[in-house]
A and B are shown apart, each in its own frame.
Chain A
Amino acid sequence: MKKWITGFCVTALTLMLATGCNNSSSSTSNNASKKSGTTSSSKKPAHITLTIGDWPTKTDPTYKQYEQWKKEYEQKYPNVTIKESPLSYWTGGSNGSSFYTAAAAGQLPNLNSAPFTETSRVVGNGYAADITNSLKNEGWLKYINPTAAKSVTQNGKYYGIPVAIQPEGLWINVAVFKKAGLVNKKGLPEVPQTWAEVEKDAKIIHQKTGVAGWVMPSEKNMGGWFFLQMAYTYGEQFEKKTNGKWKATFNDQPAVQALTWLKNLKWKDNAVQSKSLADFNYVLQAMGTNQAGMMFGSPDWTNILIKQYHANRNNYAVALMPESQSYGKRVEEVGGIWDFFSKSSSPDQIKAGINWLTMTGVTPFVKSDAVKGFTQGVLSNVKLKYPVGPSDPSQWTSKAPMLKKEQSIVKKHINVNMGLYQDWENHSLKYMKAEPPIDTQQMYAALDQVVQKVLSDKNADPKALLDNAAKNFQKDYLDKYNAKQ
């Protein structure tokens, strides 16, 4: 009897295991809401569940603002239930591994954010819905900044909405500059305009304060990305298309000059951080704790330092990228953030998502809830002591009615010394450049190795390193890409 009871229990356990592994009945919020999102023929609008990604966690200072927006939204649109998802491209680091795993499993929220660098990957892998018609119906298309539009379109179709353009500039730690005696009578940093001036200041900073004059990440593709921006200011073009074939060209003179500058800064001037294997968190920490004088950055990166290191918003200045003597332009790589809808989102969910963006102030039109939402966002930043005032190029054209409204709202709530952004506000001087289009992440990985080598080996030959990197990148990626075309 005992034997048979044991046997029955084992059989039951086995069956439970087998049914537990059955996926066919799983219903994701997307699938469930896709069913419920279809427009019904009855007069009442169908109930929709809209899952929004990048939702802040409860400990995040912006959580309360998001909850407020959600409450107001659900009151205005009672047929829509917002489901919060903390899934973010930025979860777990900057390579989006969790994000892409969820995308591959069809588990992306309806509405997602990602940087411009990911457009080709998100769209190319079929994760984003084509929302051209939705945007046309909303009347948004003619107001999207053409520069920003390049980052959210493929083959003339819109796959997302640019929500912020965030070019990088020269990010300065004011306290370190003060200690090094590099400020004027008003206490504002004397902004270096050229790479020669940056080198001089970095050297002085290290000599007078002992901290790194310049910090540079070199891991997880960030080293490659930073180096790209540096080389852009020397006039480098990393990939060129000739006779229909792409060629890696980042081993020519401009890139060599940029890399040689970095090498001299490290080994001749001793002004770069000692850690040659540095990830992005390391350099942010250095800036946030006054252990570094300068690096690349944008005004909104100061928010990270305030949040993580309790930094002061008036301790950071941002200027345009320095120019090189040879090229003479203040080149900014077109960075930014775009929002997109997962491919499984229904037209009703897309419409609901666009309404959500409007409510949070992302719209080219002046609507009462958009103005309220934008103002709430600005006030939230003021409350969090994030800098309000410095501007970025807008994702909308100058004809967008909301643009002037945004500028007036921001102007009313400026909470930072705008003298720290005097150089940055010269938007007309900015020469915007998009990142290379083919296998960019792999290129950054290859350039990471180059940056690491230059920072860890004083005998490194910049030309030889770039020749080798360009040759391997051409063989491993571009030739294969060209062969497929």
Chain B
Amino acid sequence: MKIKSLRRIRRDVLSWLLAVPALIVFLIFSWEPLLSQIYYSFYNFQGFTPTTFAGLQNYLNVLTNSGFQQTLLNTLKYVFWSLILGWPVPILAALFINEIPWFKSFFKFSIYFPVMIPQIATALMWDLIYNPSQHGFLNELLTKMGLPISQWLQNSHMTIVLITVTMIWSGFGGTTLLYLASLQGVNRELYEAAAIDGAGILRRIWNVTLPSIAPILKLLLILQISGIFQIFVQPLAMTSGGPDNASMSLLLQGYYDAFSYSTPQDSMAIGVIMFIILAIISVVYLRTSKEE
């Protein structure tokens, strides 16, 4: 038995060695910061130096802060609108590109082009497009169409939706290519069989295409929820969380707590709260996937 185990170890040692660098990187850049954050979220700070143990006080400070509820609700709204507006778009784009017989490469490049632009540049560009003055790009279009101009980002009812549109524009290209790759793997015979049974294009998409790519649909859904929940760049660059905290997100609030208000303990508490929420969502997803 002992000899067998030694042989196994000798056989597997190279595999473990190959995995060690990645494990070290993961440990240093993912686990250590997370565990440190959880640990220090229970401490008071002077500047960025932990001082005395605070227990749950930092969490109480964050949860009872007058702006926290709105900030949490804003973050959930970002997720909601990104699912409504943003989740179907790459699927439809991938289906379109998959079906068209000509200029596939051109369309692939076109939809991927926004992904190549840095997020800050995208945010600033859209901030200009949404300029509320008479001469803002969109307002000029509205004026030419005989419509009244809009306040765009300055309208607190529209801010989150408009920022979501910016994110969708910036990110849907990458997701589309992933769906496209998945679509390439769908068995052609299934389409032929469906066609023989008299299924039209919509029925083929519903009954063949979507079930075939269901695993990647679910995976990208959970990744999207997780990614959008951590939205930061766009509200920082476009609205600084305004107007009147209408676009403030949890991560942006954490950033301000750490770097504008010198209360890193509150920032860490927010980070841990976000981690708990995302962990619950991830566990639910993994459980439902396992059951299926």
Contact = CB atoms under 8 A, between A and B. Distances in A.
B170 interface: no
B262 A100 contact: yes
Interface stretch (A72-80, A317-325, A430-438, A449-457): A449-457
A218 B242 contact: yes
Interface in A93-128: 95-97, 100-101, 103-105, 121, 124-127
Interface stretch (A41-49, A58-66, A440-448): A440-448
A275 B131 contact: yes
A458 to B, nearest CB: 11
A452 B242 contact: yes
B173 to A, nearest CB: 28
B21 interface: yes
B151 A10 contact: no
B17 A125 contact: no
Contact of B65 (A127, A276, A476): A476
Given A18-B24, A125-B46, A276-B132, A7 B262 contact: no
Contacts of A127: 47
**Which of under 10, 10 to 19, 20 to 34, or 35 or more describes the interface residues of B?**
35 or more
Contact of A456 (B49, B64, B151, B260): B151
A104 B48 contact: yes
B113 interface: no
A449 B259 contact: no
Contacts of A441: 260-262
Contacts of B245: 449
Given A3-B14, A14-B21, A476-B66, A275 B154 contact: yes
Contacts of B242: 218-219, 277, 448-449, 452
A154 interface: no
A274 B134 contact: yes
A121 to B, nearest CB: 5
Interface string A471-485: 110011000100000
A472 B21 contact: no
B154 A10 contact: no
A42 B64 CA distance: 61
B28 A21 contact: yes
Interface string B218-247: 000000000000000000001110111100
A221 interface: yes
Given A21-B28, A476-B65, A275 B132 contact: yes
B interface majority secondary structure: loop
Interface in B125-151: 131-134, 151
Contacts of B180: none
A456 B155 contact: yes
Interface in A236-287: 274-277, 279
Contacts of A101: 259
B88 to A, nearest CB: 30
A105 to B, nearest CB: 8
A17 interface: yes
Nearest to A279: B240
A313 interface: no
B256 interface: yes
Interface in A353-386: none
Contacts of B151: 276, 456
A103 B261 contact: no
B42 to A, nearest CB: 17
A220 interface: yes
A14 B20 contact: yes
B292 to A, nearest CB: 37
Nearest to A8: B17
Interface of B: 13-14, 17-18, 20-21, 24-25, 28, 46-49, 61, 64-67, 131-134, 151, 153-156, 238-240, 242-245, 256, 259-262
Q: Would you list the 5 A-B pairs with minimal beta carbon distance, nearest first? A: A125-B47, A104-B48, A472-B66, A97-B259, A274-B133
Given A124-B47, A456-B243, 13 more contacts: A7-B17, A11-B17, A97-B260, A100-B262, A127-B47, A218-B242, A274-B133, A275-B154, A276-B132, A277-B242, A442-B261, A445-B256, A480-B61
13 contacts: A97-B259, A100-B259, A103-B48, A105-B48, A125-B46, A219-B240, A274-B133, A276-B132, A445-B261, A456-B243, A457-B156, A471-B66, A472-B66
